[in-house]
Structure 1
Amino acid sequence: MRIAVIGASGLIGQHIGAELVARGHRVTSVARTPREGVDHALDVETTGVDRWTGLLDGHDGYVFAAGSDDRATPRRPAYPHFRRGNVEPVAALSEAAARAGAGAAVVLGSYYTHFHRAHPEWELAGRHPYIRSRVEQARAARRSGLPVTVLELPFVFGRAGARLPNWAPALASWARSRVPLAAPPGGTAATTARRVAEEAATALEERADRDTPVADENLTWAELLARTAEAVGAPARTRRLPAALVRGALVAGGALAAVSGREPGLHLPGLGDLLLRELFVHPATGSVQRALEETFAR
């Protein structure tokens, strides 16, 4: 197959490209910034259907590994920012792929959409602009009838050269510092960039149409911090962070953002309802230990 990987220079995009090549497929790499190994430098927010159609001509599918992540805090209202980054590019790609005769697609999404389906009573899309964008992104991807696999990703460990998860440097600095490690209740599912690449390649080969939450291991926040500290060579006891303190800090952060005219993608006053839960995905039968050690290698 010939596959266009959009976001090919990112951590997961690099792993997906390498996995596809290892399986004998051809890859067209697309990224925002021109650099060695990038075939097309395009901004997904400004590239229209006609341009995507020309690029996808002769391709069997595409992978969307770009977009806006949940750490962004744009000017309020926040949703238009996340729509421009996550929904509109995928809608354009979906139409372009149909015009070009591509046979399948993979979109990298968020495991929050998994919990949106599993727990409608949490009202995640209504409360959080970022999650709303991911829910609508999945709908936009299927608008033209193309088989699409949405990989719903939690914390992703691993590295690709110098490329790390965006959150990893700050977490490593905390673990190496003298500031005590403190974890609230709750936890998260976790996976690896390599596992995501394998899932993406298989979905394209099968021309699958499904929503797939990806998880290798479920970790409490205390376990995640302790294993990070161990990986950076600064093992330390993780203390208990009271849930009330976390909620209070998030409410204060939300008020500060409002005063500055900004709005986070994850509504801070309601974020405690997520962070303090065990956002675990089942089945999770693997391990992220090796990728975690690679992420925080000294």
Structure 2
Amino acid sequence: MKVFMIGGTGLLGSEAAKELINRGHEVVSIALPPLPTGAVLPAQMKIEFGNYLEMSDVELKKYFSECEGFVFAAGVDERVEGPAPIYDLFRKYNIDPVKRLLRLARECGVKHSVICGSYFAYFNKIWPEKELAKWHPYIRSRRDQEEAAMSLADMDFNVAVLELPYIFGTQPGRKPVWMFLVESIRNMKGVTFYPKGGTTMVTVPQVAQAIAGAIERNKGGNCYPIGYYNMEWKEMLSIIHKHLGCPGKKIVTIPNWMYAAGGRKLMKEQHKKNLEGGLHMVKFTELQCSKQFIDKSLGCIPLGVKPDDIDKAIGDSIHLCLKIMDKKVNALDMKGE
């Protein structure tokens, strides 16, 4: 089928385009410039540079015409800071576009749509006692994004939201999201201090398989928790240490109150700058220090996601971070489309 994608030059979008094309689909995309130096896009993908937020309905409908599929691989994540209320920014980039684009897609006869979301929305559903949407603007925005997407799905318009977790993998010329973590670990000499808990994770190719699987398999409106490899923080850090060249470095688990103290300091600094973050970093302690695990049977298996080398994916991410930090390569910041 012909698939229209927003964000085809990004880390996830470009890999998803490659996967879709390898499966025999046609992909056309619009994305924000510039193209990262060294990035390799599928030769068969038709790409145009532009800002979809500035396009009229008529202009966008030209892209949707004759398409059966649509992928939204854009938006912004929880690392964004801005003037309060920060939720307004998330609404602008994550919620309003989904409402508009899915409406246009349905009007143009598109049958299958996929939205790249966040696994925080999944935990908001299964852990209601934590009141995640109440305390964290970003998580609230992802909940509202899902509700908007599901409200437009019906028997003739299939909509899937992928609740994506930690993702490891690289795109040449683009900074991995792990720069801050690598810098922090490097600065902790002799010992790495980290809280208890853990997370689920996938590789970039696995996300691409989930996107393609959702385009091909999803029926009706569904949110898929995506997670393949569950690791406690210590296990993940041990792999990171190995690729940083310090495999024997000690890992010390800090108490929750100490992590919360760091979050409180960060929020005070944000307040001084008249900024608000997507996460309430003191309240986030409870989530960060828990096991944010997802069983692969909930999303990955139904969508046809295959096993991958998570150790290598983590290593690739860490090695690119090091090259950028040591000024051996130039790279663009990760950004929303």
TM-score where L is the length of structure 1: 0.92
Return the match for 1:158 from 147, 150, 169: 169
- Residues 280-291 of structure 1: pairs in structure 2 closer than 5 A: 280-283=293-296, 286=307, 288-291=310-313
Matches of 2:73 and 2:185 in 1, distance apart?
29
Q: Distance in 2 between matches of 1:288 and 1:164?
A: 19
The question of 1:169 aligning with 2:179 is answered yes
Residue of structure 2 equivalent to 1:197: 208
Mark the CA change 1:263 to 1:177 in structure 2 (over 3 Å): closer, same or farther. closer
Residues 137, 279 of structure 2: 8 Å contact kept? yes
Range 83-92 or range 232-241, more displaced: 232-241
Match of 1:217 among 224, 229, 235: 229
Unaligned 5+ runs, structure 2: 302-306, 321-337
Shift of 1:178: 5.6
Describe the shift of the 1:44–1:264 C-alpha distance in structure 2 as closer, same or farther (beyond 3 A): farther
1:258 match: secondary structure: helix
CA contact (8 A) 2:30 2:52 kept: no
Which residue of 1 is the match for residue 90 of structure 2? 82
Aligned residues: 297
Take 1:257 and 1:20, find their aligned partners in 2: how far apart are those partners?
41
Contact 2:202 2:229 in 1 (8 A): yes
Q: Tell me: CA distance 1:83–1:175, structure 2 relative to 1, closer, same or farther (3 Å).
A: same
Secondary structure at the residue paired with 1:91?
helix
Indicate if the aligned counterparts of 1:156 and 1:165 stay in contact, CA closer than 8 A: no
What is residue 260 of structure 1 aligned with on the other side?
Answer: 273
Shift of the 114–10 alpha-carbon distance from structure 1 to 2, 3 Å rule, reads same
Q: What is the percentage of aligned positions where both structures have the same residue? A: 30
Distance 2:10 2:200 in 1: 21
**Partner residue in 2 for 1:226:** 238
Task: Quote the offset at 1:160 in angstroms.
Answer: 2.7
Aligned partner of 1:251 in structure 2 is 264
Moved more, 96-105 or 43-52: 43-52
Structure 1 residues 116-140: Cα deviation after superposition (integer angstroms, max 9, x where no partner): 1111221111111111111111122
Structure-1 residue corresponding to 2:22 = 22
Instruction: Please provide the CA RMSD for this pair.
Output: 2.1
Rate the CA distance shift 1:174–1:126 in 2: closer, same or farther, 3 A. Answer: closer
In 2, distance between residues paired with 1:177 and 1:251?
Answer: 21
Counterpart Cα distance in 2 of 1:122 and 1:188:
17
Letter aligned with residue 96 of structure 1: L
Correspondence for 2:108 among 75, 100, 118: 100
Partner of 2:60: 52
Indicate the larger mover: 173-182 or 138-147: 173-182
Q: Cα offset for 1:255?
A: 2.4
- Over 3 Å counting, the alpha-carbon distance change for 1:108 and 1:39 in structure 2 is same
Deviations 1:12-43 (A, max 9, x none): 11110110011011111221115496622232
Q: Is the 8 A contact 1:94 1:143 kept in 2?
A: no
| CA distance in structure 2 between the partners assigned to 1:198 and 1:48 by the alignment | 31
Counterpart secondary structure, 1:71: coil
Could you tell me whether the CA contact under 8 Å between 1:103 and 1:207 is conserved in 2?
A: no
Q: Distance in 2 between matches of 1:245 and 1:178?
A: 16
Once the 2 structures are TM-superposed, how far is the Cα of residue 177 of structure 1 from its aligned partner? 4.9
Residues 226, 296 of structure 2: 8 Å contact kept: no
1:188 paired residue among 182, 199, 222: 199
Structure 1 counterpart SS, 2:201 = strand
- CA distance in structure 1 between the partners assigned to 2:56 and 2:130 by the alignment: 35
Larger CA deviation: 18-27 vs 121-130:
121-130
**SS at structure 2 position matched to 1:269:** coil
Is 1:40 matched with 2:48?
A: yes
Relative distance call for 1:293 and 1:48 in structure 2 (3 A) is same
Deviation string 1:137-159 (CA, Å, 9 cap, x unpaired) is 11222333331111101100012
Gaps of 5+ in 1: none
Q: Compute the TM-score of the two structures, normalised by the length of structure 2.
A: 0.82
CA distance in 2, matches of 1:257, 1:176: 24
What is the distance in 2 between the residues matched to 1:43 and 1:242? 45
The alignment status of 1:148 with 2:159, answered yes or no, reads yes
The answer to which of 5-14 and 250-259 deviates more is 250-259
